Structure 1
Amino acid sequence: MARKIEVPRGKLIGMNGPGSLYIDTDGISYIVGATDKWYESGVNKNLNKFTINDNRLENLLKVNEFREVPIYKGKSDDREVENSKFTIPISRFPLTHYCSHCHLLGEFKENSSSKLKECKVCKEKKEHIQFPLVIVCEHGHIYDFPYYNYTHSSSEKNPETKHEIFFKKDGSSILNGSLVCSCGASHTLKGVTGKSKEGDKTPTPFQREMKYAKCKGKRPWAGKDVYDEKCNGKPVAILKNALGVYQPELFSVLSLTDKEEKEQLSDYESILIQEFNKLSNETLNSHNDSLNVKLSFNGTQNSIIKKVNSVRRLQELVVQTGFHRLMPSDEEESFIKATDDVNNKKMMFSSNETPIDWYPAKELYGEGIFIEFNEEVLNKWNGFNFVQEYMKKKLNKIANDYHLKDRFSNPINVLIHTLSHGLIKQFSKLSGYSITSISEKLYFYKNKYGLLIYVTDSDKDGTFGGLVRLAEEEKFKQSFNEALKSMEWCSSDPVCREIGRENGQGLYYSNGAACHNCSYLPNTSCSYRNCFLDREFVFILDSDVCIRNYFDWFKEINFHNNKQEHKVKIVKNGEENTYGNWNTLIDLGIATSSYFLNEGYTKPDYLEGIVQIDDYEFTAAYIWKEESRIVLLEEKYQSKEIPSEFFGVINGWEILKNK
């Protein structure tokens, strides 16, 4: 009797999609069947019940509909239940196993769910372990490691000799082992894994060991002995539980309109612009089941953040358009492949011949926070020569063939992406949601700049409101400031920052001051492979290109009084202020003026520090780091007369006299 294996329904669109490997609770891995085979079983079928429609995506992806994953339902009181008894086909993979006692290699059947098998050497039933290596190519094919041919790749095969191949371990690492045949042939597994180190023109380590073998084009998820005859992919040996074994190509949109409403959109950018317009609309119909947006608070005319909206409810449609292996992917790349690459589209299905007019999809429900940025402020910062020069040097380090390079050639886009990661890290601490469940969506098209941070769940009731409550003005600003503080310093600094400036780091060297210790998010949270991140733009105050040195996130700063040509640097913070308030400071004779008390200034963070303006150092009476304010001592206490142009707003700092 076949064993029932439960696979979470939501994961069948994504990391456990068609062609992926699913590992059950006993540690046995199976390959998930082709998408069209999901609907072959079932009783009292009505496939229309699985249909999801979105006219925008249907037109763009050239399909008629989307289908949700069927759910297994049994009978109730012997009555026929519509769409009952649906099962998702899976088959054991890889089939190559070795005996846990003698390590003899052999094969299991596709429909087996047992670990026990008769061993030819031990002469009794023994527990068997799946061989850890499989062969994949970048186009999506996958097949068992050819252990017989690999073992004999450097020796003559004698068909008259008995060949029993054993997996010989050497130490704790599997990849330090070797394959040994009873005929005397052997071949080490050391160095067999990995891709071409010198580019696409060179063979992979597996190919070199196998005398330049070609990909077999096998598609075990489509059925036994199904394969593509001509595949120009390069076969790679990889551990079966490695991340590169399966990379789903996912494409998601927010559900914005009624299903009956027809909309013609020309490209991916048009969808994002439409989403931006809806999310920035602070008076969106609160009765809309798909999207409920309400204004939380506005910034000022010249602050970096223009407004923050609470997204009380949102609905997301996630479509899987294909899959590949070895390399990660992002949404835009998935969309391009879905519209241009016919073969990629058909990889999820059992046949290359049948026209495909639908994709598997799922609907998710949740909440979020939408931040709209001030176009004028961002463009003014982007126009500074030193920002452009920094970005030019950054782009020169990145390979020209990286398709995301054009998307993030604008410093504004890198700034928004980096800020998003900092906020997600902070919100995960306060919202009750794990960091893996919080996602980002970036908007930077046609001078529309925005950021959506959100969570979703498959339950139609949505999520619990832990994130959207952080959109309240006081809570948001407090969380925002904490994020700015926590991301200013990386535990790998100064190394993280220096490597980012000198060479770049991360995939394709696309990151500046950003690494695993400070800025990276799980793959489920980041839309762009943790690429194009740089804390220099957002968080690091002593960086020339940090936007906080020139503009405030929430407050008004007059462009005309903001003297960008001067530079301000705090050389020494001074004594940390531990006194209660301004009255205490005045009574103790520490404060030299009651002006700041009368004007309602908060107490300063530091007393009598050293401040450098351009090439001159001055004594500061008080320093507010949080509020970017410095009070210089009166001129008679200074060794140099303070130029009048040094007072006012300089690089985002408010410089005052001690009145």
Structure 2
Amino acid sequence: MTSPPVFRKAGEVRPSQLITTFGPGAIVDTRALSVIVGGLDTWNTERTHIIREPRLERILKVSHFLTPSSGGGGGVPAYVFPRYQHCPECGTLSLYGSDDLKHTRADREPECNAPGCNQPREEGAPGKGKPRRVRTVPAPIVVACAHGHLDDFPWREYVHRGDTECTRRLRLFTRARTGSIADLVVECDCGRDDPKKPSKVFRSLSDAFNQEKFTEECKGRRPWMGMSEYDAHGCQQPQSLRAMQRVATNGWFSVVRSALSIGEQATPLRRAVQECNQGQIEKLTTPEGVKVMLDMGMFPSLSGYTPQEVWDELQRMRGLKELSDTDLRRPEWEVLRDPDSAQDDQKDLFLEGGEVPTGFETEVTRVVLARKLLEVRALVGFTRIDAVAGFDDELPDQLAPLSRTPLDWLPAVEVRGEGIFIELNETKLREWEGQKAVRQRALQLAVNFSTLQRQFRGRQPVPFPGARYVLLHSLSHALIRQLSLDCGYSASAIRERIYSSTDPEQPMSGILLYTASADTDGSLGGLVDLGSDKRLPELLRGALRSMERCSSDPLCADHEPAEHGGLKGAACHACVLASETSCETFNRFLDRNFLVPTMARSDLAFFGREHLR
């Protein structure tokens, strides 16, 4: 075998793409080859930018985050994958590094060196006497499993229908009959020498996508950690191996956790504690002591809080109490509801109080304009086959690792932008949730949610987020579509952050619609200006009017979760669904019947017909 060239630079991706699209374990098509991004163990961390976000660090149990450098000796290592290369001229399938490939400069594709393909040009052809130069392309098919393992397609075993010691030439060609996958045929030359086999050994690739005929088992290979790396524990479900196209969108789904940078002392309770006499605060060592001091009126700024709330906050400030997953959004909710806590335009978060839109005083409690905001997005792992990120707040059970051993850092990016925060009226919301029709609809979705989770490789169900989440989520999508028409950003550039909780002690019912660019600072200002008292009322009415009818009605409006078993009601691409870059739950938990009266239902709407005029 010949030695393949060493690539110094295979291609380029943006730092944000390493978090959302082309992270460790993802296949990237470069100018020269198809490569797989290497694991975090192989990254050069000397020229990286350090990102600090204490709340997210505690949740993910890391000490810091890193953004890879794109120059100056930085970059991210990658390996050639798949190893099989295909010659479009003669159809030969060759392993990268074999004698059937001619490896030229490292910045160019390898050339086919198979017998008969690299012969001198015929008499009268341009370039007479010179060998033909046919550049190969990566093999179109790979195999993967739901646990994140990835491997080359077993071409030899597949065409011979089992283990084989054959080393004859393999070819892949198309019969060009129907344009389907059945036209692709892989063949082996070993049938030529057998008089009982007048034709070559061949097999259509259609069998590879038939689970009953494709019975190869997963070997637990993890090429992003090294071309010879295999899972030490093997694959828990070796029969789950599936063939897929090399560039299939279900080949890599990022699992990202994010947090707004609000500062450790931005919450109202934290600021109230800071206003107290710190010498006396430090003497409080028990919840009982806190209660005694509050009863004595020693801390006037804490008069509106319970002793347990103050004690828990003191424990967090002292680093003695760990945050739960819900704490990632709870502090943000408190800050967004209190724009006075972020009035410094030199900080990462700059808030401004807005006006409740005219005509919506009963349904909307608060509007806050985020003139500036900063979000930290960290990649914690990935999945293949199924996009389970966003299915619930917990990390997936089958999360594929980014490195061989756990590290004290994760890759992340900072994104800056602007946004609009809208809080719904809690009293009105509880009245709406108590309606019989709403409870029945929510029960249908809850049953489907529980059933789908049990079917999803036996996962234990987590609580259904509730009817209010479906309402908030549907309103968020309706506003995203309406905002994109006026603010100058595309709909895919506007993201959502849902704050929903039915906890009677600490309820949440709001949405943050924001836009952020991962590679530049600042914002265009077009989004936040739509939250003004002059523009927001009409924008909200326009969003609700667009939900009243859909071009797919009556099929869309009549969609019943009980009949179809899904996690959506009246929702389709023509009305409510948004791009996956915008939605935090992959377009689940949506129903425009919860927003306004439609041609199918009028008893589920939170907003009445008077809001459409």
TM range (shorter): 0.7 to 0.9
Q: Does structure 2 retain, via aligned residues, the 8 Å contact 1:321–1:335?
A: no
Quick one: distance in 1 between partners of 2:382 and 2:557?
35
How far apart are residue 52 of structure 1 and its match?
Answer: 2.1
Contact in 1 for aligned 2:254/2:389 (Cα 8 Å): no
1:141 Cα deviation from its structure 2 partner: 1.2
What residue in structure 2 maps to residue 594 of structure 1? none
Structure 2 letter corresponding to 1:97:
Q
3-state SS of 2:218 partner = coil
Equivalent residues of 2:325, 2:393 under 8 A apart: no
Residue number in structure 1 paired with 2:476: 420
Aligned partner of 1:293 in structure 2 is: 351
Paired with 1:227 and 1:86, the residues of 2 have a C-alpha distance of 27
- The TM-score with structure 1 as length reference comes to 0.72
Amino acid at match of 1:439: R
Q: Which residue of 1 aligns with 2:427?
A: 376
Structure 2 vs 1, CA of residues 511 and 57 (structure 1 numbering), >3 Å: closer, same or farther? same
User: Could you tell me how far 1:466 is from its partner in structure 2?
Assistant: 1.0
Which structure 2 residues correspond to residues 149-168 of structure 1 after superposition, within 5 A? 149-153=157-161, 157=164, 159=166, 162-168=168-174
- CA-to-aligned-CA distance 1:149-198 (integer Å, 9 cap, x gap): 100016x8574x844433344443345322121223222111423xxxxx
CA gap of 1:407–1:551, structure 2 versus 1, over 3 A, is: farther
Instruction: Write the distance in 1 (CA, Å) between the matches of 2:318 and 2:416.
Output: 22
1:222 corresponds to which residue? 225
SS where residue 559 of structure 2 aligns?
A: helix
CA–CA distance in 2 between the matches of 1:112 and 1:175?
Answer: 34
* TM-score, normalised with respect to structure 2: 0.77
- State how 1:315-334 maps to structure 2 within 5 Å: 315-331=374-390, 333=392
Q: Secondary structure at the match of 1:241?
A: coil
Partner of 2:21: 15
Give 1:391-410 correspondences, 5 Å limit: 391-402=442-453, 407-410=463-466
Q: Which amino acid aligns with 1:348?
A: L
Q: Which residue of 1 aligns with 2:603?
A: 545
- Determine which of 234, 243, 249 is the counterpart of 1:237: 243
CA distance in 1, matches of 2:513, 2:207: 42
Q: Structure with the greater relative contact order (CA < 8 A, sep ≥ 6): 1 or 2?
A: 2
User: CA 1:262/1:95 → structure 2, altered by over 3 Å: closer, same or farther?
Assistant: farther
The verdict on how the C-alpha distance between 1:489 and 1:537 changes in structure 2, with shifts beyond 3 A counting, is same
Structure 1 partner of 2:187: 180
The CA distance in 2 between the partners of 1:285 and 1:387, in whole Å, is 37
**Superposed displacement of residue 95, structure 1:** 1.8
1:489 to 541, 549, 555: 549
CA shift in 2, pair 1:99/1:484, >3 Å: same
CA contact (8 A) 2:156 2:164 kept: no
Residues 437, 456 of structure 1: 8 Å contact kept? yes
The residue type paired with residue 454 of structure 1 is: Y
Structure 1 match to 2:141: 133
Instruction: Choose 293-302 or 511-520, whichever is displaced more.
Output: 293-302
Does residue 454 in structure 1 map to residue 519 in structure 2? no
Q: 1:116 to 1:513 in 2, by over 3 A?
A: same
Q: Report what 2:89 is aligned to.
A: 101
Q: Which residue of 2 aligns with 1:631?
A: none
Conserved 8 A contact 2:112-2:118: no
* C-alpha distance 511-215 of structure 1, shift in aligned 2 (>3 A): same
Number of the residue aligned with 1:36 = 41
Q: Secondary structure at the match of 1:167?
A: strand
Residue 517 of structure 1: aligned partner: 574
Where 1:495 maps in the other structure, the secondary structure is coil
Unaligned 5+ runs, structure 2: 1-5, 98-102, 120-132, 192-199, 267-316, 454-458
Does the Cα contact within 8 Å between 2:351 and 2:369 map onto a contact in 1?
Answer: yes
Which residue in 2 is equivalent to 1:120?
Answer: 115
Offset at 1:262?
6.8
Name the residue aligned to 1:190.
206
The correspondence for 1:534, drawn from 579, 591, 596, is: 591
The code of the aligned residue for 1:153 comes to R
Contact in 1 for aligned 2:168/2:188 (Cα 8 Å): no
Which residue of structure 2 lines up, in the alignment, with residue 431 of structure 1?
A: 487
Per-residue displacement from partner, 1:2-50 (whole Å, max 9, x unpaired)? Answer: 3632211221112111111112256x4211111231216xxxx4x6x63
Larger Cα Rg: Structure 1 or Structure 2?
1
Secondary structure at 2:451's aligned position in 1?
coil
Following superposition, the deviation at residue 290 of structure 1 comes to: 2.0
Alignment of 1:347-362 (within 5 A): 347-349=401-403, 351=404, 354-362=405-413
Whole-Å separation in 2 of the counterparts to 1:503 and 1:404: 23
Verify the 8 A CA contact 2:446 2:464 in the aligned structure 1. no
2:441 to 376, 390, 399: 390
Structure 1 residues 175, 268: closer, same or farther in 2, change over 3 A?
Answer: farther
* Secondary structure in 2 matching 1:72: coil
SS where residue 496 of structure 1 aligns? Answer: coil
RMSD of Structure 2 on Structure 1 (CA): 2.8
Give 3-state SS (helix, strand or coil) of 2:35's partner. Answer: strand
For 2:402, give the aligned amino acid. Answer: M
In 2, the alpha carbon distance for the partners of 1:510 and 1:425 equals: 21
| 8 Å contact kept, 2:109–2:137 | no
Indicate how the Cα distance of structure 1 residues 408 and 176 shifts in structure 2: closer, same or farther if over 3 A, else same.
Answer: farther
Report what 1:70 is aligned to.
Answer: 69
Q: 1:441 to 1:175 in 2, by over 3 A?
A: farther
Question: Against the structure 1 CA distance between its residues 120 and 174, is the aligned structure 2 distance closer, same or farther, given a 3 Å change threshold?
Answer: farther
1:55 corresponds in structure 2 to: 54
Cα distance change on mapping 1:404 and 1:257 into 2, 3 Å: farther
Is the 1:218–1:227 contact (alpha carbons within 8 Å) kept by the matching residues of 2? yes
Q: In 2 relative to 1, CA 526–355 (structure 1 residues): closer, same or farther, beyond 3 Å?
A: closer
- In structure 1, distance between residues paired with 2:318 and 2:524: 32
- How far the C-alpha of 1:470 sits from its partner, in A, is 0.6
Decide whether the 8 Å contact of 1:541 with 1:549 is kept in 2: no
Count of residues in correspondence between the two structures: 511
CA apart distance, 1:548: 4.5
| 1:502-513 to 2 correspondences below 5 Å | 503-504=563-564, 509-513=566-570
In the alignment, is residue 273 of structure 1 matched against residue 327 of structure 2? no
**Residues 492 and 397 (structure 1), Cα distance of their counterparts in 2 relative to 1, 3 Å cut:** same
> Displacement, 1:375?
0.5
